[in-house]
Amino acid sequence: MNDLNFRAPKGTRDILWPDSARHQFLTEVFAEVVSEAGYTQVITPMFEHVEVFQRLGGATDVVRKEMYDFQDKGGRHLALRPEQTASVVRAFNEHRPAIPWKAWYTGPNFRYERSQKGRFRQFSQVGIEVLGVEDPYLDVEVMALAWRFYERLGLRQVKLELNSLGSKEDRNKFIDALQQHFTQSLSELSEESQKTLEVNPLRVLDSNREQDAHLISAAPSMLDFLSEDSEEHFTQVQEGLNSLNIPFSVNPKLVRGLDYYIRTAFEFISESFDAAQNAIGGGGRYDGLVEDLGGPSTPGVGFAIGTDRTLLACDAEKTFQMPEAAIEVFVVDVTGGMEALKLTTELRNAGFKTDRAWDNRSMKAQMKLADRSGALFAIIVGEEEVASDTVILRDLRESTGQSKITRETIQEDLRKRLR
């Protein structure tokens, strides 16, 4: 058999320690930030009936080209989730929790994209969604929470880009104007953008091909198509951000890759790496989606942050580095292994992160493993220690630090030194 079959599929990765610990720690920091603001966790299935995601917009790449959909053995047409907003809205409609419903989530998503640095076919997100509130200051709260999260990670080079896509009617007028603008000079557009224009005129604005640049810069601006209400909403959002001293820039070309947005749309860009994949988070308002998925008319707003990309930004800014050592104490037992069995159990029950060696290795081999484990202390047990009910406690960071202590005081001793 071809040994390629034994590698992780294209666009997926194994995440080993210490990266796995950073992923987990990042989620914990996120949970802390949003719990402080009253959000509770929702866990939805990783796959749904394909129709749930088709509501994201038949013209979007996410739905048209990138969906991992399949038939299960019962003949159901299902899809692995490409994002979680649609799932959260589906769950809202199914359970009708009291509004405002403020939910946060984490977990993997799947998109059949061209994989490259920072762009995977399985990637993880953390995010929030709020259902049932129209208030523009909620849009501000939502962005402020993402901002606070980045700050807690120690990121400093994050830029917030903001736009308003207006109401559905405003947006349709804008799309018509765009269509007209690009169609007038169709032959000047790149071939790819001509195809995009046919299915999704808004996304032409996303093209970064040089050939398209001048037509894009001369294109009509969304901001000129905002109705009075939408403009008022947008102004309040900006005033709210200003009042919290959150810096942002208005980018009228920001259209996002999903179709459900109305009014507020935003993206967080990391300036610390210049990959094409520097959007580390994004979101906005999606007031029509609950209805589109069969629920009562209910406004919604939220964002999702890409865990993998955010960690890349942390690498680039040299922040949120290594997690603390996984192991605090390593038990070295040269009497056969039973003492280590008892001691590790005792210490773990008392809350110390404890490991040991196996297979009755030599003292030297066990000490090597203790060093490699990153443990701060070794507890060494030989025949003499068993006979005298003692152990040797060695500070692995200092080659000289070693003392004989009674078995009874191990925990107390460790606590004093570790905590």
Taking CB under 6 A as the criterion, the residue among 30, 105, 123, 266 binding ligand HAM is 123
Least distance CB 58 / ligand HAM (angstroms): 16
189 and 219 Cβ atoms separated by less than 8 Å: no
Among 14-22, 187-195, 276-284, 344-352, which window interacts with ligand HAM (CB under 6 A)?
276-284
Q: Which helix (H) or strand (E) holds 404?
A: strand 402-406
Least distance CB 1 / ligand HAM (angstroms): 29
Taking CB under 6 A as the criterion, the residue among 63, 280, 311, 414 binding ligand HAM is 280
Least distance CB 113 / ligand HAM (angstroms): 5
55 and 289 Cβ atoms separated by less than 8 Å: yes
Among 44-52, 199-207, 305-313, 399-407, which window interacts with ligand HAM (CB under 6 A)?
305-313
Residue 111 touches ligand HAM, criterion: CB under 6 A: yes
Q: Which helix (H) or strand (E) holds 34?
A: helix 19-35
Residue 129 touches ligand HAM, criterion: CB under 6 A: yes
Residue 240 touches ligand HAM, criterion: CB under 6 A: no
Taking CB under 6 A as the criterion, the residue among 119, 152, 159, 181 binding ligand HAM is 119
Taking the least distance from each CB to ligand HAM, the nearer of 126 and 370 is 126
Q: What is the DSSP letter of 322?
A: P
Residue 83 touches ligand HAM, criterion: CB under 6 A: yes
Taking the least distance from each CB to ligand HAM, the nearer of 252 and 284 is 284
Q: Select from 257, 25, 301, 21 the least CA-distant residue to 145.
A: 301
197 and 204 Cβ atoms separated by less than 8 Å: yes
Determine the number of helices (DSSP H) and then strands (DSSP E) in the chain.
Answer: 16, 16
Taking the least distance from each CB to ligand HAM, the nearer of 47 and 123 is 123
Taking CB under 6 A as the criterion, the residue among 302, 312, 378, 379 binding ligand HAM is 302
* Cα–Cα distance measured from residue 307 to residue 280, given in angstroms and rounded to the nearest whole number: 8
Residue 377 touches ligand HAM, criterion: CB under 6 A: no
* Residue 369 buriedness (CB in 10 A; 0-12 / 13-18 / 19+): middle
Residue 139 touches ligand HAM, criterion: CB under 6 A: no
* Cα–Cα distance measured from residue 270 to residue 261, given in angstroms and rounded to the nearest whole number: 22
Least distance CB 186 / ligand HAM (angstroms): 29
Written as one string, the DSSP assignment of 70-109 is EE-TT--EEEE-S-SHHHHHHHHHHH-PPSSEEEEEEEEE
Residue identified by tokens 């995601």 is 53
* Cα–Cα distance measured from residue 404 to residue 110, given in angstroms and rounded to the nearest whole number: 55
Residue 257 touches ligand HAM, criterion: CB under 6 A: yes
Residue 127 touches ligand HAM, criterion: CB under 6 A: yes
Taking the least distance from each CB to ligand HAM, the nearer of 126 and 204 is 126
Taking the least distance from each CB to ligand HAM, the nearer of 144 and 327 is 144
- CA distances in angstroms from 191 to 65, 205, 207, 220, listed in the order given: 18, 14, 11, 21
* Cα–Cα distance measured from residue 119 to residue 276, given in angstroms and rounded to the nearest whole number: 9
Taking the least distance from each CB to ligand HAM, the nearer of 142 and 219 is 142
Number of residues that bind ligand HAM (CB under 6 A): 26
Q: Which residues bind ligand HAM (CB under 6 A)?
A: 83, 85, 111, 113, 118-120, 123, 125, 127, 129, 257-258, 279-284, 286, 302-304, 306, 308-309
